[in-house]
Amino acid sequence: MGETRHTSSRSTRAGLSDKKALPKKFLFLLVTGTVLLLAAVFLGSGGWRAAAQDETPSGASLATELTVNIENMAFTPHTVIVATGANITWQNNGDTVHTVHSHEGWFESGDLEPGDSFVWQADQPGTFRYNCQIHPEMEGVVIVLPGGAVAPLPFEGQDVEQVYRDSCGGCHGPNREGATGVALVPGRLIDSDDFYFDVIKNGRPGTVMPAWGALGMSDEEIWALVGYIHSEADSEAVYWEMDQIRGSRQVLIDEGELPAEPTHSGNLDNMLLVTERENRSIAVFDGDTHTLLGQIDASYRAHGYAFDPTNDRWAYNVGRDGWLFKIDLYTLQAVTKVRVGLDARGLAISDDGRFVIVGNYIPATAVILDAQTLEPLRIIHTIATNPENVQVRSRVAITSDVSPELVGPYFIIGLKEAGQVWRIDWSDPEFPVESVEAVGHILHDGFLSPDNTRFYIAAQTDNWMGVIDVETWELVEQIETGDTPHPGSGATWEANGVQYGATVHAGEGLMTVWDLETNEIVAKIPTSGPGLFIRSHPENPYVWADTMFAEQPNRIYIFDEETFEVVHVIEEGIQTLHPEFTIDGQSVYVSDWQGNVVRVYDGLTFEKVAEVGGLVTPTGIFNTERRTETLGH
């Protein structure tokens, strides 16, 4: 065990030791329970100004000395990560007596009067949990990693705050303020560390809370997240404005040097792009032959996709880290990239192929760019009043494009916290905005009716789909569906002269179907658990939906478009999701997130016709056919 001693000294310093460069040079200094991104520069009045580059400079290392503050009935930081040999000082800055007691007996401070301190030197790797014996609810964690270049940092050196935003912020809010999930701030964390560790590691079957341990998150990484949610939340806005966007733009390949014809044999109208969630890449399949054509380098957790309606050569993708790529489908490579924000989700392209719009979670903005050059043209700050008339900074939950031939030259964006939906006229150089207010609470995915006259958007904590007349721009209906509707990119179809729409639910095993003309619910179809994605196709008589957050998350439900009867359930793989049709509607692709494969099924007989392995965490699937669909590009 390490040396212990009492001292009244309040001084401490953080030392640096040599550490071998990690992959992609993700090197950070872990000193506060939250990982400090050394490439960032703190702005006193504007929050964090993040670096424009993908990678951070080398030269950082684990702390060798740090101090844990004991005050306000808490150890701060709650979780610390250090190298072997580090000296950790606990300083009692409170007004009552506390102790520092290792659960396994590694260190024991005895009573620490106000002003006293205690030092422990960590001389071996491990995870060391402790509490105050006088106040057992006060808990903390010390993670000791091997010194030198023996072990990689948690999350491969990525900032734990960014990991939280990417993996947890969608449900719990980017600043842990709560959304569809509970708030994760110290005042709300009334259970033990064991409880939060178990929930993160093992998930909650039947809910959208995944088992991160099963998805590859180590115990040390889970403890880092437990420590992060115990830290005080920072509600300051993150700064990423026009100068930062312009400064990040990079031309990767001169378009003048690109070949005039495709360099592969795939059908450009029937290619399926599959996000490899944890591999910073996009796998590309030929939907005619079900063969893997290649992989495109992308950024962190490729999310939104858009396809140029005027040119089969170009596709667009935005990663959750805010990097937007213009992709050449002839050669399967990105030609230009620009960082439009620090946490992004939605992406759409105008019907004339001139503009793309990206919706950001952080900062609260929508960014419009020239689609050909990716030069930024306009930043729209999404600050608005919520249904309670309180002004909020709102994440952009959905972006979509309306056909000018059907209704008008509009982008539509949904403001998650504000509960508003905005219509942006992309034919006007000023990009004017009109709003519909009080649509609901915590807006999420949405889609357009086939004629583009109605926009349907999920209000997830209200458990309804808001219906907006796109021409008059007013809320006309709120369809009571079920717990936490999540329609994904939408499912609409026509049967016996009636047009229908449907959603799955992230809060229960249910598929809800309604008449698009009357907005009346015509069927509620039970499933074995919550799902996220549902798809239909005009050349196929069935609707396919996943149940990826069910207790058994490998079932795909298929129901008849006319009778709404479940005709088949595919039960295969580990965690299956995001069914996507080929252009003729005869085949359906399904990702197996944890199985690392994509399977292809006959769209009529439901028999498996192909399986491609060797992928890395495949999730979202998007067919290039989407360039012509009217649900919104």
* CB neighbour list of residue 139: distance below 8 Å, 6 or more residues apart: 75, 78, 129, 130, 131, 192, 193
| Residue range 328-342, pLDDT digits in tens | 999 999 999 999 998
Rounded Cα distance between 601 and 588, Å, is 5
Hey, is 493 helix, strand or coil?
Answer: strand
Rounded Cα distance between 189 and 193, Å, is 9
> Which of these, 106, 95, 94, lies nearest to 130 by C-alpha position?
106
In this predicted structure, what is the pLDDT of residue 206?
A: 72
* CB neighbour list of residue 544: distance below 8 Å, 6 or more residues apart: 534, 535, 536, 556, 557, 558, 579, 581, 588
Tokens standing for 178? Answer: 């709560």
Q: Residue 156 pLDDT > 90, yes or no? A: no
Q: Which helix (H) or strand (E) holds 202?
A: helix 193-202
Q: Residue 626 pLDDT > 60, yes or no? A: yes
Rounded Cα distance between 508 and 260, Å, is 49
φ, ψ (nearest 5 deg) of residue 3: -70, 140
* pLDDT band for position 13 (cuts 50, 70, 90): very low
In this predicted structure, what is the pLDDT of residue 17?
A: 29
| Residue range 367-392, pLDDT digits in tens | 999 999 999 999 999 999 999 999 99
In this predicted structure, what is the pLDDT of residue 21?
A: 31
In this predicted structure, what is the pLDDT of residue 62?
A: 67
Q: What's the mean pLDDT when you consider all of the chain?
A: 87
In this predicted structure, what is the pLDDT of residue 632?
A: 63
Q: Are 583 and 266 in contact (CB under 8 A)?
A: no
pTM above 0.85, yes or no: no
In this predicted structure, what is the pLDDT of residue 621?
A: 97
Beta strands 420-425; 410-415: pairing state: antiparallel
Rounded Cα distance between 63 and 39, Å, is 17
Q: Are 179 and 171 in contact (CB under 8 A)?
A: yes
Task: Count other C-beta atoms under 10 Å from residue 267's C-beta.
Answer: 17
| Residue range 259-290, pLDDT digits in tens | 999 999 999 999 999 999 989 999 999 999 99
Residue with tokens 């170009």: 314
Rounded Cα distance between 507 and 37, Å, is 35
Q: Residue 607 pLDDT > 70, yes or no? A: yes
The domains found in the chain, sorted by start residue, are: 4-229 (2.60.40.420), 242-268+300-475 (2.140.10.20), 270-295+481-633 (2.140.10.20)
Per-residue pLDDT averaged across 500-520, rounded? 97
Burial level of 303, CB count in 10 A (0-12/13-18/19+)? buried
Q: Are 341 and 357 in contact (CB under 8 A)?
A: no
In this predicted structure, what is the pLDDT of residue 29?
A: 30
Q: Which strands, in side-by-side order, build the sheet including 498-505? A: 485-495, 498-505, 510-515, 521-526
Rounded Cα distance between 349 and 538, Å, is 23
Biggest alpha carbon–alpha carbon distance for the chain: 82
Q: Does residue 604 come out as left (phi exceeding 0), alpha (psi in the -120 to 50 range) or beta? A: alpha
Q: Residue 153 pLDDT > 50, yes or no? A: yes
Rounded Cα distance between 158 and 61, Å, is 13
Picking from 43-52, 98-107, 213-222, 451-460, which range would have the lowest pLDDT averaged per residue?
A: 43-52
* pLDDT band for position 312 (cuts 50, 70, 90): very high
* CB neighbour list of residue 611: distance below 8 Å, 6 or more residues apart: 597, 598, 599, 600
Tell me what percent of the residues of the chain surpass a pLDDT of 90. 72
Q: Residue 322 pLDDT > 80, yes or no? A: yes
CA distances from 566 to 556, 558, 559, 560, 570 (A): 11, 6, 4, 6, 11
| Residue range 177-192, pLDDT digits in tens | 777 777 787 877 878 9
Q: Residue 91 pLDDT > 80, yes or no? A: yes
| Residue range 193-243, pLDDT digits in tens | 999 999 999 988 777 888 999 888 999 889 989 988 888 876 556 789 999
Q: Residue 306 pLDDT > 90, yes or no? A: yes
Rounded Cα distance between 605 and 415, Å, is 41
In this predicted structure, what is the pLDDT of residue 120?
A: 96
Per-residue pLDDT averaged across 109-130, rounded? 94
| Residue range 395-411, pLDDT digits in tens | 999 999 999 999 999 99
* CB neighbour list of residue 453: distance below 8 Å, 6 or more residues apart: 406, 407, 469, 470, 471
Peptide bond into 404 cis (omega under 30): no
| Residue range 533-551, pLDDT digits in tens | 999 999 999 999 999 999 9
Answer with the residue of higher pLDDT: 486 or 44: 486
Burial level of 10, CB count in 10 A (0-12/13-18/19+)? exposed
Q: Residue 39 pLDDT > 60, yes or no? A: no
In this predicted structure, what is the pLDDT of residue 309?
A: 96
In this predicted structure, what is the pLDDT of residue 12?
A: 26
Picking from 15-29, 125-139, 141-155, 515-529, which range would have the lowest pLDDT averaged per residue?
A: 15-29
Q: Residue 416 pLDDT > 60, yes or no? A: yes
Per-residue pLDDT averaged across 91-98, rounded? 95
φ, ψ (nearest 5 deg) of residue 129: -95, 150
Per-residue pLDDT averaged across 316-337, rounded? 96
Q: Residue 44 pLDDT > 70, yes or no? A: no
User: Integer distance in angstroms from the first to the last C-alpha of the chain?
Assistant: 61
Per-residue pLDDT averaged across 5-21, rounded? 29
* CB neighbour list of residue 607: distance below 8 Å, 6 or more residues apart: 601
| Residue range 433-463, pLDDT digits in tens | 999 999 999 999 999 999 999 999 999 999 9
In this predicted structure, what is the pLDDT of residue 209?
A: 87
Helix, strand, coil percentages in the chain from 3-state DSSP, rounded to 5:
10, 45, 50
DSSP string, 299-342: -TTEEEEEE-TT-TTEEEEEETTSEEEEEETTTTEEEEEEE--S
Per-residue pLDDT averaged across 50-69, rounded? 55
In this predicted structure, what is the pLDDT of residue 230?
A: 87
